[in-house]
Structure 1
Amino acid sequence: MRNFTVTVLDTTGIQPYIFGSNRLRENIGASYLVSQATDNWARNALNTLKENINKEVYAFNAQHNQPEVKPYIEDGELAAELVYAGGGNTVLLFSQKQYAIQFTQILSKRILEEAPGINLVAVHQEFDWDNQSLYDVVQDLMKNDLDAKKRSRIPSAPLLGLSVTANCRSTQLVAVRMSKKFEDEDDEPYLISREIQQKRQAVNSANHKLTNKFLSSETSDTYEFPRRIDYLGRSEGDFSYVAVVHADGNGMGKRFQKFGEGKSNRDYITAMRQLSHSVNQAGINALQKVVDILIRSIKLEANGTRTVKGKFTIKEYNEKYNLPFRPLVYGGDDVTFVCDGRLGLELAAIYLEELEKQPIADGRILNACAGICVVKTHYPFARAYQLSEDLCKGAKKFVKNEDQGDFSALDWHLAASGLSGSIGEIRDREYQVPAGNLAMRPIGLRKQQDSDWRTWEGFTKVVKHLNEDEEWKGRRNKVIALREVLRQGMNATQKFLKNYRIKDEQLPLFPESSGQSLSLAQQGWLNGICGYFDAIEAMEFYISLKEESDANLSTENQATE
């Protein structure tokens, strides 16, 4: 009988830890520390355990090791084996429970010292390799023990100042020193806590990792990822918005469960490694395509500046140009990035499209949903992230309610001014009118059936038409007038089209083949949903980066039979 101990690691309170500051550097450092805590640091802790107990361990690494290659813990030569690290969880096997506890102590100590503020949760369960299913044990630990421990955990109360102390500007904890100024930092040194100190120290490592992963040696000579919100492409005195984009794979928890179900213990380990690595690589590859498309869209102008499609100038600092885009959380199906507000919608859609193309170990398409929140540049970052996460959840709910199987979708909110209330409250207050719902979002990435018109293709076609067709281009008052009559419903919209002598007395057609788009174009509404209000709102927040988009724009309304 071979008895082992299963250990599952997770972290809590990650959202406020990463996004609780309005300083991009601190967000960057925090994200890097979180990624290290349950991945590389877990492997390092295993190697430290190896030295302490003088026994062999296997710190499996998908980047260097094949998932099925030995050594195996069941062969009796290992004290510990890393099963997989991915999706925020790390699963390990130990030959004795005392080794699992020692490992957790080693990792916890490092997190306390080098990443204060990250809360590590660990659960252990002994099991019989020969008579129990590792799949069942891991599922039980994740569903019951891990969740229960997260809920029952009493948040630690940090020891505040015992005498006269000063507070950290970012966390309000006791300050331990003044910040060291970065070269490209305008702020004067400010009081920081130990948590912020560690985050700032991690920035250079985070930048190095990001650059090595997504920029070639050639492109890294010209471009770099920004470390300041103001370097994301902000046009001073003209346009000052940033997009926070959060994307998450659809039903990934159940997908991992299904892929591991019914397998022998060793086959389960191999399967989890394969699926975890393929999902992680899919997210990386999709982001790589986003970076590549963005770089190809940048043009060198006659005056020596560089612009995105000629629309706005990107920032230059220290002989390098700052890309108007920065991934914060990446690796796996859960991705968060920030970018110039005019690129949020397009880059989110490109990411979802590229994610669907990636090979996954279980042979299924990786569909995902994205939430895009566009806010003023210095709007509270934690609030913007929370809204993007809520929008992503709204898109997932839309997918379930449509009852058309699994597909990718996106939802967004463009906050031209402040924000008050939840997304649901904002939609009820600002988009519900007697005629119905002014917002067509959430929308699917593509059509699932012929009658689908609430799609990314349809939305972008209408935005391009309003921005580029001679009947609407540059006629701001006319567009604003259309926006106001859409609020009044179908009859008012029809009168507007007639009075303004709009061609064929109809708005641009949506690309669907059931025939209902003609009615939508003539009335502006279909089944209580307005098809054009969202497009009008997005006219200044959408730039197409695809090379063929301008050439293929059709400005003629043709009814689809």
Structure 2
Amino acid sequence: MIYSYLFEAKSIQAYLFQSGKLKDVIAASERLDRMVDTTESSLVGQVLRALSLTHDLTNPAANLGDVDISFLRCKGGALYAGATNKDHLVQFRQLWTLTIQQLFPSLVFTDALCSGETLGQAIEQGHKLLAQDRNLPQITLPYGSAYSAREQRSGKVAVPVSSFAKKAGVDSAEMKGLDADTQLHRQAYGLFELKTVSNLQDRFTPESLRPRHYPVNLDKDFEFDGTKDIALIHIDGNGLGLLLRQLKSAMQGKSDSDYRQAFRQFSDTVNKATELAAQDATAWLAEQFPDATHTLPMRPLVLGGDDVTLLCHAKYALRYAETFCRAFKQHADKELRALSRDYQLSVKLTASGGVLFHKAGHPFVQSHHLVESLCAKAKQLTKSCVPAGQTGPAALACYRVSQVILTDLEQAAQQAHRYPLQQGGTINLIEMAYLVDEKEGGVSWQQLRQLIALCDKAKGTDAKGFTLSRWRKMASELAAGDFVEAKRIFERGLEFLKKGNKAAESEFIEALANLGLQQKRWYRETREGYAAPLVDLLNLAHFEEEISSWQHNNGEVL
């Protein structure tokens, strides 16, 4: 009989951003990064050392049974372990969950201890129990009664502020009490010296660039030039489920040790590919700031498994995300080559994500829900490009918010950017999701940039040409419901192009066709009316080309 123990931390984004202060986000991300990892200094390693249990955290080649506890996965807030002696897993589970509840009081997690004739059966049974555990309510301590004092930001039970937390900085309102998690974050911020040192940010940084400074203050360290626009980026891998099913099928009939080693190799390889991709993206950003003393305008938050989350200056956010997605595909192909060869795996991995633009003062508690929805929207586009059972190309979805949104992403986008037309029907001015590379067969962000470049070119030669200001005028008319006037503005711009430069007109029409807009049109017909990517175009121009923002008559910033 083989026994397995599975643990997964849930709602990590919500946990990171619950206090709304950057120093707490930095500390929470660093603490979570040190919680589950294949190092002796990780929290997992410390618990095992306290129990005097032998393990293979740092020796993935060890055979099942040679140590007390063997790990199949120990990255990204999740761990899967196996053992031939149930008592070892029981001891580990008891101390591990107690430690988590003490050090991360409000962190939501699921866990399961089960058995099977083989390790594969035990893990499969564990996944079923994890799904059941998600539906069970959890009580977090300290438990708040009606008479308990509350922390002003999170609304949780307030506890006295410790001397270590005070050293990290506590304002007058917080002196009345912090919630238990924020208290621990503040202690870690000071004791780990996170203002200058961070294991997580080193994982984002190539060795040739270390040490490099990262922001610790949103208002001062990002050098906003008056705009204070930042972006929250969340990227997740595509195809992992398909690849895991292939690997599981390939391991049928294999020994428990082979099963453990294959899945441990898979977990470590994916994590390595993610880390290398993050370093490539950071290296690209560092090229924009060659002065090594310059603070890089991005803040690492999560790097584990196939997930990354970070804050970035709005001007560089989309290109950073694109660089990561391209690098992840390359590194995943390279790192998984040996595993794919040994077990005849054919699925390739890509990554898709969301980029949410907002002001530096926008509440984080709202942002993480929206950026996860953007990531889901990008993944929908990824899946739509290929038949079922295949991995689609990388995609990114972007959206800009200027105020707190209490609805879901789709509803917010419809309310802000779908307008009724005077002749009937509606027009939707935002698509949000595009592919990373145009050669993948769909519309990409680069093709939007090509249209912007033509508009900038027209601005430099002929004020009557098809400049971005013409697109803004069209958007203004459409916001007022005047589709006819928007068409007239567009056609007038084409006339100027035709008179001034026939080649320029051809380039412009080709750029529209590359966006899927045929027959010299700037819109597509849909069941609800029309759709046009005007908001995507203007947002991209605003952030990357430093074009002045445009506001239509209801005050919503595009």
How would you bin the TM-score normalised by the shorter chain? 0.7 to 0.9
Say whether 1:351 aligns with 2:324.
yes
In structure 2, relative to structure 1, the CA distance for the partners of 1:231 and 1:210 (3 Å cut) is farther
8 Å CA contact retained: 1:282, 1:355: yes
1:224 — aligned with what?
213
> Residues 179-234 of structure 1: CA distance to partner in whole angstroms, max 9, x if unpaired?
42548x9989643233212112333366421343344677446x411122224525
Q: Which of 382, 398, 422 is the matching residue for 2:408? A: 422
Counterparts of 1:218 and 1:474, CA distance in 2: 45
Q: Which of 20, 34, 37 is the matching residue for 1:36? A: 34
> Residues 136-180 of structure 1: CA distance to partner in whole angstroms, max 9, x if unpaired?
3312311x1011012123333633379785636445322311642
* SS of match in other structure, 2:305: coil
Task: Structure 1: give runs of 5+ residues left out of the alignment.
Answer: 51-55, 301-305, 307-319, 545-561
TM-score norm. by structure 2 comes to 0.80
Q: Which of 250, 253, 274 is the matching residue for 2:238? A: 250
In structure 2, relative to structure 1, the CA distance for the partners of 1:118 and 1:417 (3 Å cut) is closer
Q: Which of 390, 394, 400 is the matching residue for 2:377? A: 394
> Residues 486-520 of structure 1: CA distance to partner in whole angstroms, max 9, x if unpaired?
6668754442144355413859648779x676964
In structure 2, relative to structure 1, the CA distance for the partners of 1:486 and 1:137 (3 Å cut) is same
Counterparts of 1:429 and 1:120, CA distance in 2: 35
How many percent of aligned residue pairs carry the same amino acid?
Answer: 19
1:496 — aligned with what?
489
Counterparts of 2:436 and 2:64, CA distance in 1: 44
1:139 — aligned with what?
124
Q: Which of 20, 23, 27 is the matching residue for 1:25? A: 23
1:196 — aligned with what?
182
Cα distance, 1:245 vs. partner? 0.9
Say whether 1:59 aligns with 2:56.
yes
Cα distance, 1:289 vs. partner? 1.1
* SS of match in other structure, 1:407: coil
In structure 2, relative to structure 1, the CA distance for the partners of 1:169 and 1:429 (3 Å cut) is closer
In structure 2, relative to structure 1, the CA distance for the partners of 1:83 and 1:400 (3 Å cut) is closer
Higher mean displacement: 6-15 or 497-506: 497-506
Cα distance, 1:525 vs. partner? 1.5
Cα distance, 1:20 vs. partner? 1.1
CA-based RMSD of the aligned residues comes to: 3.3
Say whether 1:47 aligns with 2:49.
yes
For 1:209, give the aligned amino acid: N
For 1:329, give the aligned amino acid: V
In structure 2, relative to structure 1, the CA distance for the partners of 1:41 and 1:542 (3 Å cut) is same
For 2:451, give the aligned amino acid: V
8 Å CA contact retained: 1:247, 1:370: yes
Higher mean displacement: 483-492 or 351-360: 483-492
2:271 — aligned with what?
280
8 Å CA contact retained: 2:200, 2:303: no
1:340 — aligned with what?
313
Q: Which of 281, 286, 289 is the matching residue for 2:280? A: 289
2:552 — aligned with what?
none
For 1:345, give the aligned amino acid: L
8 Å CA contact retained: 2:215, 2:299: yes
8 Å CA contact retained: 2:73, 2:264: yes
1:261-276 paired onto structure 2 within 5 Å: 261-263=249-251, 264=254, 265-276=256-267
8 Å CA contact retained: 1:408, 1:445: yes
Aligned pair count?
500
Counterparts of 2:316 and 2:394, CA distance in 1: 19
Counterparts of 1:414 and 1:374, CA distance in 2: 5
For 1:388, give the aligned amino acid: V
8 Å CA contact retained: 2:235, 2:354: yes
1:440 — aligned with what?
431
1:209 — aligned with what?
199
Task: Structure 2: give runs of 5+ residues left out of the alignment.
Answer: 341-346, 420-424, 500-504, 547-558
Counterparts of 2:260 and 2:516, CA distance in 1: 54
For 1:495, give the aligned amino acid: R
Higher mean displacement: 493-502 or 534-543: 493-502
8 Å CA contact retained: 2:358, 2:400: yes
8 Å CA contact retained: 1:489, 1:525: no
2:365 — aligned with what?
382
Counterparts of 2:359 and 2:311, CA distance in 1: 13
